Structure 1
Amino acid sequence: MTIYKKPLKIIILGGGIAGLTTALALTKFAPKDAVPRILIFEIRPAPATIGGAVNLTPNALRMLDHLGVFDVIRQRDYGKDIDELEVFDLHGSKLAVSDFKGAEGKGIGNPPFKALRITRGDALKAVLEVIKRQKNIVLMCGKRTLSIKETADDVTITCDDGTYWTSDILMGCDGIHSVTRLQHVDPARKETYTGVCNAFGFARVPRGFEVHFKCTALNFSQRGVMLTSYHDSRMESVYVGALMRVPDIGSRDGWKQVGADAEKTRADILRRFGDAKIPCIRPLIEMTEDFYMWPVFTLSKDGKWSTNRCMLLGDAAHAMPPQGESTGIVFEDTVIFSRCLARWLEKGRPGGHPKEAFAAYERLRKPRIADAFEESRAVIGSVSDAGWLGHTLKTWVVPWYLWFTRKSRDRHFEEDVTRVELGY
């Protein structure tokens, strides 16, 4: 018979989508008599509900369903269901389609899900709603971590207000500029600006405004890629995001462009995409309210994810350029890790520290992340400026690539990592 000691105390650094879903997963998959006590530390005064619109693929929605978040999304009518992603050349031709409907038109996997385009803010609000219902989770905002000290028995963080907190495990879910990584787990592994920036905003469209896509579209030009997508069920607003080469803008978190800077960004986007033969593109750029600039950083492909008592998850461990499944990969990280930790508890905490659980997680996860890194390289290549010949080759390669990789993408969309064998 397994005899549990007192419940684990877990500190999570980062109150964004990665940290919050990690807390939910650790709660859901813990043995019923060993639910951990979790403290989440967020550096901002409140969780940031700004951001662009992400595409949650079927596997991502399946994880949110397991965590109780998908019901909130449906109840609040967040996001827009996506049957397919259409791909266009801005000269006017439709190049390809990436389908989420599945063989019977109901979605992919069991249970079936399609995709959902949703703002980061709405996704975070849904997760926060579920967090509020958990008695074992406390979210503390306005807390900046100054130092991390790990011993054989515990981990202690010291905050800038002079307080210090001790736990059994520290989870670094604090993003690409992770304090957990840079101060403790792998200080030499620095983030690198990719040279690519996402300039994005939202365009309120009048009733009857005609677009060239059903729900969402990738639009290729010689000087970048533009995403245009509805993100609300009433189809009253279009997300406009331009991935393009931009010199280092010197920002860690991105910023909202206002006044003259916003108009400068808009003018740059119009120079790159405004001559599109697709009639709605220029008006959408002109109607977009302000612009946010979000520089895309990445980490090296290989690196250290853990110590004996600290684990990095999400962008803190493996930030990469967006490759269509980035958010879903983070959700799967949290679930697989939580299952590995639960197994360690069920085995009676062998070794006294969770390194066995950490090692099992890394064995399961690192091959998938390596594949995702390779996929992300194609994104950077597609954003690079190209002449007429290079662009023509790109428009030939893209549909071939989507056709060639369809089976592997569908396998990812079908996957339910709550059923994956842990192997230990």
Structure 2
Amino acid sequence: MAPASPDGLDVLILGGGISGLTTALALTKFAPPGKVPRIRIFEIRPVPATIGGAVNLTPNALRMLDHLGALQKIREKDYGRTIDYLEVFDVYSGKLAESDFRGPEGKGIGTPPYKALRITRGDSLKGVLAAVEENENITLTCGKKTVKIDETADKVTLTFEDGESVSGDLLMGCDGIHSATRLKHVEPERKAVYSGVSNAFGFAPVDKDFKTHFECTAINFARRGMLLTSYFQPDPTMVYVGGLMQVKDIGSRDGWKAVGADAEKTRAELLDRFGDAKIPCIVPLIEKTQDFYLWPVFTLSKHGKWATDRVMLLGDAAHAMPPQGESTGIVFEDTVLFSRCLTRWVEKGKPNTMKEAFDAYEKLRRKRIEVAFEESKDVVRTVSDAGWLGHTIKTYVVPWFLWWTHSYREKHFIEDVTKTDLGY
């Protein structure tokens, strides 16, 4: 348990989701001896949000969670289900390819080896929260809506809707795609844009003898979208069902909420898109799913401002993009790499302004994010509506693409940003 040190930084974090919590853990873990920061996290919701779909934590994501002490909590609670390999199907003709996480010896990828883990966003958040609670220097306050952000040469001040104000040495904006930190302070004109695709997801209870076409996780391509079907817990009595598909813009957040609340309409849409699948379990899984949530995928422009002199955006607040298989791992790497850059600046005796650490982080991170952004465009194109010919071409391209990019993806799975040369 780490208490804050008098000589440590006073850090404010907006956003009590996975990005904000892992940032707090990373800033604590990599703090110089005797300079553990005081970290105060503020979340707009009344309680941390544990609702969400099932994400794939790739080997690099698990490696970061292990460094931060959260993976142990996840494993203690038996959250998630290990993925040996991800399977790719055409719903009309069958299996197309695999993406393997077993590594050369079957134990995983990297040193030490990690496979992948399919886990709900809620369970991953619970694991990280459990790790946060063991650190006395970190506090989380919910139900706090930020209405104003002021920055001076030596501090940042948050003013909340209830009239309370708090000040700190720096502010971390980890508050997601519709970030108040970005919209009220860092770059107000950079607003989220609807990507054109949405994720309709839910959870289907099944009998233990229910026959599926996949071992753990399957990506199922159709002419009008992609359906993800996956186990996400050790007990195979529940399947995550998520349809990524092209949906017209509703026009407002309230409008999306209203449409998303009609679960039966969303179910009917999925049956219309995937009901002609030749894989026998596809339709029953959609029919068995209890409720559906419609989640529009928003993005930010590729280039944008991430920081001021004392405020830094991380995760979706800085670079939201459509899901491209590694999104969660990218967030974890953001938090660890930034924390190491900030720690190096403190270790050097704070020779210049804090912006020195910010600039070092951006120099290391921008290229990786820009590449991931371009990859996410391919996801949007792949799940967009296509005719018979376009879909047929896709079934030939996808296996070739997975084969061609295997080495590139494995390079990222092996990567450990705790060892990256910071360059300053």
TM range (shorter): over 0.9
Letter in 1 for 2:209: G
2: CA distance, partners of 1:138 / 1:199: 34
Change in Cα spacing, 1:17 to 1:253, as seen in structure 2 (3 Å) is: farther
Helix, strand or coil at the partner of 1:188: coil
**2:103 corresponds to which residue?**
102
Q: Which residue of 2 aligns with 1:190?
A: 191
Distance 2:138 2:6 in 1: 19
- For 1:251 and 1:403, the matched residues in 2 are separated by 39
- Equivalent positions of 1:237-276 (< 5 A) are 237-249=238-250, 250-251=252-253, 255=257, 261-276=262-277
Aligned counterparts of 2:102 and 2:405: Cα–Cα separation in 1: 17
1:61 is aligned with what amino acid?
L
Match of 2:58 in 1: 57
| Shift, 1:251, TM fit | 2.4
CA contact under 8 A between 2:41 and 2:139: conserved in structure 1?
yes
Task: List gaps (5 residues or longer) in structure 2.
Answer: none
| 1:140 equivalent in structure 2 | 141
Residues matched between the structures, number = 419
Which sections of structure 1, spanning at least 5 residues, go unmatched?
A: none
Q: Which TM-score applies when normalising by structure 1?
A: 0.97
Equivalent-residue separation in structure 2 for 1:37 and 1:127 (angstroms): 18
CA apart distance, 1:5: 7.7
Q: SS state of the match for residue 253, structure 2? A: coil
1: CA distance between counterparts of 2:78 and 2:196?
36
Aligned to 1:362: 362
Pairwise CA distance, 1:253:
11
TM-fit CA distance, 1:132: 0.8
Q: Is residue 2:365 matched to residue 1:375?
A: no
Give the TM-score, by structure 2 length: 0.97
Deviates more, 1:182-191 or 1:360-369: 182-191
Question: Which runs of structure 2 are paired with 1:373-412 in the superposition (5 Å)?
Answer: 373-412=373-412
* d(CA) in 1 for partners of 2:98, 2:227: 16
Match of 1:220 in 2: 221
Matched, 1:302 2:303: yes
Distance 2:236 2:126 in 1: 20
User: Following the alignment from structure 1 to structure 2, what is the Cα–Cα distance between the partners of residues 111 and 210?
Assistant: 34
CA distance in 1, matches of 2:84, 2:255: 32
SS state at 1:270 partner: helix
How far has the Cα of 1:195 moved from its partner? 1.2
TM superposition outliers: structure 1 runs of 4+ over 6 Å? 256-259
Q: Shift of the alpha carbon at 1:292? A: 0.7
- Give the distance between the partners of 2:40 and 2:345, measured in 1 at CA: 21
Question: Which residue of 2 is the match for residue 209 of structure 1?
Answer: 210
- 1:341 is the counterpart of 2:349: no
Name the SS of the counterpart of 1:10 in structure 2. Answer: strand
Residue 20, structure 1, aligned to residue 21, structure 2: yes
Contact in 2 for aligned 1:256/1:292 (Cα 8 Å)? no
Tell me the CA shift for residue 381 of structure 1. Answer: 0.5
The one-letter amino acid paired with 2:34 is: D
**SS of aligned partner of 1:81:** strand
Structure 1 residues 258, 297: CA separation in 2 closer, same or farther (over 3 Å shift)?
closer
Alpha-carbon distance in 2 for matches of 1:364, 1:408: 18
Q: How far off is 1:255 after superposition?
A: 4.7
**Which residue identity does 2:423 align to in structure 1?**
G
> How far apart, in 2, do the equivalents of 1:364 and 1:321 lie?
22
1:200 corresponds in structure 2 to 201
- Contact kept? 1:83, 1:99, Cα under 8 Å: yes
**1:127 corresponds to:** 128
Q: CA deviation at 1:188?
A: 1.4
Kindly provide the CA deviation profile for residues 244-273 of structure 1, in whole angstroms up to 9, marking residues without a partner as x.
1112233279659788x2111101100000
Identical residues among aligned pairs (%): 67
Query: What does residue 90 of structure 2 align with?
Result: 89
